[in-house]
Structure 1
């Protein structure tokens, strides 16, 4: 199955689907190996892995290069966190064409202003004009090279402190503009905003959520309300930071690796993840004896 078709299938199927954050090819491969059926190419995580803020400091071509490596070494669909589309409708058209050429299955666009600021920083972030953002969605759908390419519209109204009526109005407008799914975002830890939105959502278009802050709510509650997909949006990079910090501090304090060797991946594990042994077999096939 094509990855674009696979992503659309995940969004539309009856049971809950889960996408795992990936920020490079290695984390993508590990996520697929762990059983995830789809990947979230996180803008925050990719930027953080470059040492940059989540404020569009990384150019869209730099992001695309990372995602290109991810699709090369995995077989599951990749949904790109496309922020605001890196500009106006024309930037969105070019972005979607390039994503389609590189076998990325879909893009998520959020209705904030370029350059964006991470949703969990500050309050009252300004949002894009509804009609302008609808134009971005239409431009994205008109530019896709594969009929199954997915455009997910991310609603930031609740994050920005606007009332539920505004979030619902925006979501309906984005659905009418051709979005394949709606991502409703919230940073409240009790999750009540998202639950309320799902109660009031009357369209057939799939709902996607990112429970970074309201992670304590069992996901089956959202499934009961018709949520299609859950994105674990930044957990690989956060896990990597914790592990690397712990190991490197231990090595520095002990001036030895003897005490941590059993806690880290083996070289053989790296060779498996990077297809080293397949390369050795290829040498036997293609190089002269």
Structure 2
């Protein structure tokens, strides 16, 4: 998900945790996911989400905003903002979407330094170590790096852009750790269900840009209808009603709070 409203929706339909996707967040800002946004902007997005919901939040911190000392500060800032888990990846800056060609990875040792900084900085947040090495150095090196990252204290291992169900199964057999799978669309990974991932041994499955892509297409089609027809009449059945919208944002809670506070003011002028 990519903002507070989408996090509230996820909580309302029954999800137990949410993932603040760098790809979805940057797209919502009109920017590509290549490390352009700042730590301050990411922390602000985290705070806005945690202001309105207590649902556990995994935050995509890309490469950690620099070298090891930058990672240290990033983890401190993001955890203070409300992150329950923080993901750091082993790409070279400027990073690329993990499912695009042409990305590069830093050395294993450099990533180890970053993980040590992250673990030293965190108080209670989980550290998710993502490796993008499959596409650059092969599945064997992805397994090798994952084992090292686990030994260094990573809480969760995230193998990015594996290319088949067989690769995911092989990775899970080789790496005994809490594993996270990325089930994004239009990338290197074929569509695999959460049930299939669970059966292979993956504890977490993220769908990082799914709802953004669905919403983006719906918004584009709605704008075309408005432009061409000058009315929203054909769109009414596709809309969340005002009542449903207000239920998500807890409008009645604030309305009732205002009434209660007004009564208190009248009694205590």
What's the TM-score once normalised by structure 2's chain length?
0.92
Relative to structure 1, the CA distance from residue 224 to residue 53 in structure 2 (aligned partners, 3 Å threshold; closer, same or farther) is same
Higher helix content, 1 or 2: 2
Unmatched 5+ residue regions in structure 1? Answer: 1-21
Which of 20, 28, 43 does residue 22 from structure 2 map onto? Answer: 43
Which of 228, 242, 245 does residue 220 from structure 2 map onto? Answer: 245
Residue aligned with 2:96, SS: coil
Aligned to 2:160: 185
> Offset at 1:187?
5.1
Residue aligned with 2:19, SS: strand
Relative to structure 1, the CA distance from residue 217 to residue 270 in structure 2 (aligned partners, 3 Å threshold; closer, same or farther) is closer
Q: CA separation in 1, counterparts of 2:20 and 2:193?
A: 24
Aligned to 1:15: none
> How big is each residue's C-alpha offset from its partner over 1:214-268, in whole Å with a ceiling of 9 and x where there is no partner?
4533433332332111111111111110110111111211111112122112222
Q: CA separation in 2, counterparts of 1:282 and 1:70?
A: 21
CA contact (8 A) 2:46 2:82 kept: no
Relative to structure 1, the CA distance from residue 261 to residue 222 in structure 2 (aligned partners, 3 Å threshold; closer, same or farther) is closer
Which of 99, 111, 114 does residue 136 from structure 1 map onto? Answer: 114
Q: CA separation in 2, counterparts of 1:157 and 1:185?
A: 8
Q: CA separation in 2, counterparts of 1:199 and 1:115?
A: 32
> How big is each residue's C-alpha offset from its partner over 1:60-80, in whole Å with a ceiling of 9 and x where there is no partner?
111111111111111210000
Which of 137, 150, 173 does residue 199 from structure 1 map onto? Answer: 173
* Cα root mean square deviation, aligned: 1.6
Aligned to 1:29: 8
Q: CA separation in 1, counterparts of 2:26 and 2:199?
A: 34
Q: Does 1:73 find its partner at 2:52? A: yes
> Offset at 1:133?
0.7
Relative to structure 1, the CA distance from residue 61 to residue 258 in structure 2 (aligned partners, 3 Å threshold; closer, same or farther) is same
Which of 115, 128, 132 does residue 152 from structure 1 map onto? Answer: 128
Which of 255, 260, 268 does residue 280 from structure 1 map onto? Answer: 255
**What does residue range 55-70 of structure 1 map to in structure 2 within 5 Å?**
55-70=34-49
**What does residue range 251-262 of structure 1 map to in structure 2 within 5 Å?**
251-262=226-237
Q: CA separation in 2, counterparts of 1:144 and 1:200?
A: 27
Which has the higher relative contact order, 1 or 2, with Cα contacts under 8 A spaced 6 or more apart? 1
Which of 194, 198, 210 does residue 235 from structure 1 map onto? Answer: 210
CA contact (8 A) 1:40 1:79 kept: yes
Relative to structure 1, the CA distance from residue 247 to residue 187 in structure 2 (aligned partners, 3 Å threshold; closer, same or farther) is farther
**What does residue range 67-146 of structure 1 map to in structure 2 within 5 Å?**
67-123=46-102, 125-146=103-124
Q: CA separation in 2, counterparts of 1:145 and 1:198?
A: 28
Q: CA separation in 1, counterparts of 2:193 and 2:242?
A: 37
